[in-house]
Every structure is written in C-alpha cells, then in structure tokens.
Amino acid sequence: MADESARERILSAAEELFAEAGFAATPTSRIAERAGVPKGLVHYYFTRKPDLLAALVERLPEELIPLEQVVVAGDVGESLHRLVDRLDEALDSSAMLSHLLWREADTHPAVLEAMQARFARIVGQIRAVIAASLTGNGRHPDIDSAAHLLALAVSYRHSVARHDVDEHRGIRRELDFIASALA
C-alpha cells in the first residue's frame, strides 16, 4: 500500500510540475522533491521521464457514459445536451491534466496516440447517442459527420478549458444546430 501511495504522489507531483513549467523544464529531481520520495524511486516506477506522461494519460477519467443515462428517444438535442453535460463533468475533474496532455502531444508520439484514441472513443460515444435517440423518420442523416464535428467541438473546449473566460457558455448553440440538422 505504501508503494501505491508513493507512486500516486509521484504522479501528482509530475502533473503539477509539468503544468507549471512544462515537461522539458521539469527535472525528475524536482518531481521527487515535490513528492517527498528519493529520486531513485521515481526511476523505479517510471524508467524514463516520458513514462510519467503515459501514466498521466491513464489518469484521465473514462468518458464512456451508459446510453440509458443520456438518451431521450426521439430527442437528439436533449440527448446530446445530456451527453455533453456528462463529458463536461469529467472535464471538471481533469481540466489541468487534459490541457497538459494536449500540449505535450505535440512532442511525444505516445501521448498523441493516446489522445487520438481518446478522441475516437468520444466520437463513438456521440455516434451511439445520436443513433439511439433518432426516431425512424425514414431519413438517414450523416451521423458520422455530426459525431465527428461535435467531438471536435468538445475536444477543443476541453483542451483550452483552463483558459476559458466564459466557462458557463457551453456549446448550446452548436448542439442545437447539430440536432436540428439531424432531425
């Protein structure tokens, strides 16, 4: 148990320091100091400094939301609003980490790959919510394009969330536009 808490302290210290100074400007000795552990313990858990980034990606909250918690049959707009509200709740617990990882994705291929996989999961989640909420009106709207467009908007908001001066605005207008295009 003590080992797990040391590992968690190291990850928390790395997250804070990477957010403050950036990945490249943060030596592992500072991480060890902030975590209150010997420097060798940092390298015991994380052989290379980029391994810390990979572990931080795993700390992002899982974005998979059960359909029954957000889908309103026949109401794409309300279903999408509920989904985005739930995705935003997850963001509230990880805004700094999400921003940090998007920033580091430019120089660390493993982080970029993990963030792209996360984006693909969000697209899939949105696609499933749209499909489950549509009624059989005979039309076959372009669900894939709508899901991808909304995922881009959500991901953008989450990547800049800590800089958002109007955090309560949300994306209501964009959600309503997509819902009306699908209806």
What pLDDT, on a 0 to 100 scale, did the predictor assign at position 78? Answer: 94
Spans of all domains in the chain: 2-58, 67-182
pTM: 0.76
Long-range contacts of 48-53 (CB under 8 A, 24+ apart): 49/23, 50/108, 50/110, 52/10, 52/11, 52/14, 52/18, 53/18, 53/23, 53/101, 53/104, 53/108, 53/110, 53/111
What pLDDT, on a 0 to 100 scale, did the predictor assign at position 32? Answer: 96
- Per-residue b/e over 130-151, b at no fewer than 16 CB within 10 Å? beebbeeeeeebebeebbbbbb
- Whether the predicted pLDDT of 170 surpasses 60: yes
Measured CA to CA, the distance from residue 126 to residue 144 in angstroms comes to: 9
Mean pLDDT of 131-138: 76
Q: Which amino acid is at 85?
A: D
Neighbours of 94 (CB within 10 A): 18
Mean pLDDT of 28-32: 96
- CA triplet 154, 88, 182: central angle to 5 degrees? 50
**pLDDT tens, residue by residue, 173-182:** 888 889 888 8
What pLDDT, on a 0 to 100 scale, did the predictor assign at position 58? Answer: 79
What pLDDT, on a 0 to 100 scale, did the predictor assign at position 138? Answer: 56
Is the torsion defined by CA of 69, 99, 111, 27 positive or negative? negative
Measured CA to CA, the distance from residue 100 to residue 12 in angstroms comes to: 13
Least confident piece of the model among 8-22, 46-60, 75-89, 150-164: 150-164
- Whether the predicted pLDDT of 10 surpasses 50: yes
- At 77, the pLDDT band (50, 70, 90 cuts) reads very high
What pLDDT, on a 0 to 100 scale, did the predictor assign at position 1? Answer: 40
The CATH number of the structural domain formed by 2-58 is 1.10.10.60
Winning range, highest mean pLDDT, from 108-117, 143-152, 162-171: 143-152
Name the residue with higher pLDDT: 47 or 100.
Answer: 47
